[in-house]
Amino acid sequence: DSGVTQTPKHLITATGQRVTLRCSPRSGDLSVYWYQQSLDQGLQFLIQYYNGEERAKGNILERFSAQQFPDLHSELNLSSLELGDSALYFCASSVAGVREKLFFGSGTQLSVL
């Protein structure tokens, strides 16, 4: 168990809908990262938050947004969903520093029908 909790584990929805994925980082970790994993794109970094502030942006679509709350949990909001958004979404957390590994949650499998 990595200590990172993601909910829900599975999500099935329709095109055009909006969903929210939730992540609770490991106790003490201030950084939260969101990744999208699909067969064609691999593991793509979406966005990082550090202690409530956006730290870095990757390949995140404008239809997607995220935030980190004062209790350090994070939510990833996906709107106007398209078939191509179907993927495994990972949350990860870490302490600061270039040597620090990321601890991954078990992921949310999103299926857009």
Task: Identify the bridge partners of residue 70 per DSSP, sorted by sequence position.
Answer: none
100: contact with another protein by CB under 8 A: yes
- Interface pick for another protein out of 88, 111, 112, 113 (rule CB under 8 A): 88
What would you report as the CA-atom Rg of the chain, rounded to the nearest whole angstrom? 13
Lay out the site mask for another protein across 18-57 (x = CB under 8 A, - = otherwise).
-------------x-x-x------xx-x--x------xx-
Helix, strand, or coil (residue 64): strand
3: contact with another protein by CB under 8 A: no
93: contact with another protein by CB under 8 A: no
Task: Identify the bridge partners of residue 24 per DSSP, sorted by sequence position.
Answer: 5
The least CB distance from residue 48 to another protein, in Å, is: 5
How many whole angstroms separate alpha carbon 36 and alpha carbon 31? 17
